[in-house]
Amino acid sequence: MKATDILTKGCVCVPLVATDKDAVIAELVDALDRDGRLTNRDQVLAAVLGREKIRSTATELGLAVPHGKSPGVKHLVMAVGKPKTPIDFGAPEGYPPSELVILLASAIDETGPHIQALAKVSRVWLNQGFRAAIKSAETADAIYAAFEEFDG
């Protein structure tokens, strides 16, 4: 699976308007909903926010991957947002704020693809070239192109 199999350019938000964790999640869920990728926006939002309350999905390298499983989506989907300035996503002390937020939502019974997608985005983020491309990206097209280039 490639990230671009589950990501459309319409679900890439650059820059994010929201400036806090819950609002960023809502903005990315709304992008999925506008793109026709959800069957119930509120169910997906509740699932992702609920999962985030259990434990922050921020990583030590400035990536946050909020995710959830919900009956409000038929299959695995992804939205990506780059904030104007990094956002505090509730990372453990010593971790930097999030420079990129990748939201994943899947159907309740889609455990395998959901876990594969989480692993995939984490692996791509470990690539220094990808992180540099994201850091310099100023448009949705540039973010999408970075996924196309480095997720091979």
Q: What is the largest CA-CA distance in the chain?
A: 38
Model confidence at 152: pLDDT above 70: no
pLDDT value, residue 93: 85
What total of structural domains would you count in the chain? 1
pLDDT value, residue 146: 97
Residues of the chain above pLDDT 70, percent: 99
pLDDT by residue (tens digit) across 40-76?
999 999 999 999 999 999 988 999 999 999 999 999 9
Model confidence at 94: pLDDT above 90: no
Question: Residue written as tokens 């506008």?
Answer: 34
Burial of 39: CB neighbours in 10 Å, binned 0-12, 13-18, 19+: middle
To the question of pTM greater than 0.75 for the whole model, the response is yes
Tell how far CA 4 is from the center of its chain.
12
Residue 36: domain span: 3-150
> Looking at residue 96, which CATH number applies to its domain?
3.40.930.10
Average pLDDT, the chain: 95
Q: What is the amino acid identity at position 45?
A: L
Residues 49, 29 contacting (CB under 8 angstroms): no
H-assigned helices in 35-106:
41-54
Residues 6 or more apart whose Cβ sits within 8 Å of residue 103: 25, 28, 29, 32, 48, 65, 66, 67, 78, 79, 80, 81
